[in-house]
Structure 1
Amino acid sequence: MAQVLRAAVAAACAGGLLSRLQAPVAMARAPPASQASRGVAGAVWALGRLNHVAIAVPDLEKARAFYRDVLGARVSEVSPLPEHGVSVVFVDLGNTKMELLHPLGSDSPIAGFLQKNKAGGMHHVCLEVDDIKAAVRDLKEKKIRSLSDEAKIGAHGKPVIFLHPKDCGGVLVELEQA
């Protein structure tokens, strides 16, 4: 299954597939378990599960209250991340999470996003990888740009790196060490 997911993300990033979702797409079937456990020939990293979808919000407390009080979700406390210029709240959905992002200071990348999207909106998707250093090397060889030269520690205390949306079908993709 990881092979299929990795191939789909690589195709989306390289060919802009994510921007053409209205066209019907044939779904690939997962390889037999024996084949999946071996991984792709020559592959040194594997794509994992969806970790979270990040939503930029203009009012963090209002958004936090909506998910907690209206929808009944388990919602974390606000965590400031000055090194990333954001405050975050995680909404636990059982099988994955949503990350609510709010600017922490005027230099925050989220402040710029909210200037263009006053009501907020989807900011990025985060996918887990089993070896982030190998993934970064491999993606650089495939001419997929990242927004930084190397991974930084993210909100979960694990290394993360963001891939350039222009190379990923218009979607900002965050990779996180599993």
Structure 2
Amino acid sequence: MKLGRLNHVGVAVPAMADAIAYYRDVMGAEVVTEPFAMPEQGVLVAFVNTTGEAGTAGTQIELIEPLGADSPITAFLARNPAGGQHHLCYEVEDIEAARDWFTAQGKRILGPTRIGAHGTPIFFLHPKDMLGQLTEIMETPRGQH
């Protein structure tokens, strides 16, 4: 199994509109998507992109706001009211091979493989098994290998 590139950094936010304005106006990021609901995951999501040197692709930031009290983001924001880094997402070519790889190493996978905000399969790894960092593993979108 080979770990691919860092796809995005997930940032939990208490107010999506304020977070979008911050990344756009203060950080100069490009808003890539309007906020969209993912009720099955209990979150509202929007993506912003930074720009690298000479206009090259920078880093994608996934802004995530809870849709309600049952959202997994709600507890995070209770501990971090201003929001903050929630997870890192890495790409892999084969999600099932990656799941098998991490399971064989004794890493705890949080829930089933499901479809993420990019429309590709994902799963999360427990932060206590990943140097304290909640880690999302995402199958590389088709055509981006």
Does TM, scored on the shorter chain, surpass 0.5? yes
Structural mapping, 1:131-142, within 5 Å:
131-142=94-105
Q: 1:67: which partner in 2?
A: 23
User: Which structure has the bigger radius of gyration?
Assistant: 1
Shift of 1:69: 2.1
Runs of at least 4 residues off by over 4 Å = none
Structural mapping, 1:19-98, within 5 Å:
45-75=1-31, 76-93=33-50, 94-98=57-61
How many residue pairs are counted as aligned between the two chains?
133
Shift of 1:70: 2.5
1:57-83 CA-to-partner distances (Å, cap 9, x unmatched) read: 111100101111222211121011101
Structure (1/2) with the larger strand percentage? 2
AA partner of residue 85 (structure 1)? G
Tell me the secondary structure at the aligned position of residue 47 of structure 1. coil
Identify which of 102, 108, 116 aligns with 2:71: 108
AA partner of residue 164 (structure 1)? H
TM-score of the two chains, using structure 1 as the length reference: 0.72
1:48-107 CA-to-partner distances (Å, cap 9, x unmatched) read: 100000111111100101111222211121011101100011111223200111001110
TM-score of the two chains, using structure 2 as the length reference: 0.88
Tell me the secondary structure at the aligned position of residue 21 of structure 2. helix
Identity, in percent, stands at 52
Contact 1:46 1:131 in 2 (8 A): no
AA partner of residue 127 (structure 1)? Y
Q: 1:163: which partner in 2?
A: 125
- Confirm whether residue 121 of structure 1 aligns to residue 77 of structure 2: no
5+ residue gaps, structure 1: 1-44
Structure (1/2) with the larger helix percentage? 1
Could you say what the CA RMSD is over the residues aligned between the two structures, in angstroms? 0.9
Contact 1:159 1:177 in 2 (8 A): yes
Tell me the secondary structure at the aligned position of residue 126 of structure 1. strand
